[in-house]
Chains A and B, each alone.
Chain A
Amino acid sequence: GENVEQHPSTLSVQEGDSAVIKCTYSDSASNYFPWYKQELGKRPQLIIDIRSNVGEKKDQRIAVTLNKTAKHFSLHITETQPEDSAVYFCAASSPAGKFYFGSGTKLNVKP
């Protein structure tokens, strides 16, 4: 089955700096790659996603890149703010719709 690895497990940045979280996957059949943000005590919420026919997608301060050949995708957050502090999960989805989640990255943005 699919195996998704996520790095780093924790990331601490200064407010205004950029943050990058990376994920790799193993199954070349995976075709959908969402990113979720989970604040403490809350549900995971989708922040951005990308499909396998696209290499990059941007939404204001967040962007995701996908390298299908290397089987890795990354989340980029620019101009970080304290409210970006949360745990971020990547996932890879099989064509059947089953998600395989990474282990999560705890992002801490220091004011």
Chain B
Amino acid sequence: DAGVIQSPRHEVTEMGQEVTLRCKPISGHNSLFWYRQTMMRGLELLIYFNNNVPIDDSGMPEDRFSAKMPNASFSTLKIQPSEPRDSAVYFCASSYIDPGTDTQYFGPGTRLTVL
């Protein structure tokens, strides 16, 4: 099992540019979560999908952030336009939501720096 795959691992961009983060969940998992981690705010849930459908996007900071999951094996998180305060580590996690097995497994993260 390859685990959750994220790309890129590091992204440096300039303010105003569009940034797209990518995630491939563990095969067979039916739920996918996007988190943002900063020293100040800790781990924040941005959005999560169940069976490719967005269930809760209440954590998305503002309209500059959008997320899609076109199929069970791929999701994107887009920031347009990016701002320096978006600098953080973005984690994707996946799980199989079931009463007995809903552990979330995290990807390696994407470290985003917006200059």
Contacts and interface: CB of A to CB of B under 8 A. Distances in A.
A97 B91 contact: no
B82 interface: no
Contacts of A89: 43
Contacts, number: 43
B45 A43 contact: no
Contacts of A96: 55, 97
Given A96-B55, A98-B45, A43 B109 contact: yes
A45 B106 contact: yes
Say which size band chain B's interface belongs to.
20 to 34
B61 interface: no
A97 B95 contact: yes
Contacts of A32: 102
Interface residues of A, number: 20
Contacts of A49: 103
Closest 3 CB pairs of A and B: A97-B97, A43-B106, A101-B43
Interface of B: 31, 33, 42-43, 45, 48, 50, 55-56, 91, 95, 97, 99, 102-109
Interface of A: 31-32, 34, 36, 42-46, 49, 89, 93, 95-99, 101, 103-104
Given A96-B97, A97-B102, 14 more contacts: A31-B99, A32-B102, A42-B108, A43-B91, A43-B106, A43-B107, A43-B108, A44-B43, A46-B104, A46-B105, A97-B31, A97-B97, A101-B42, A104-B43
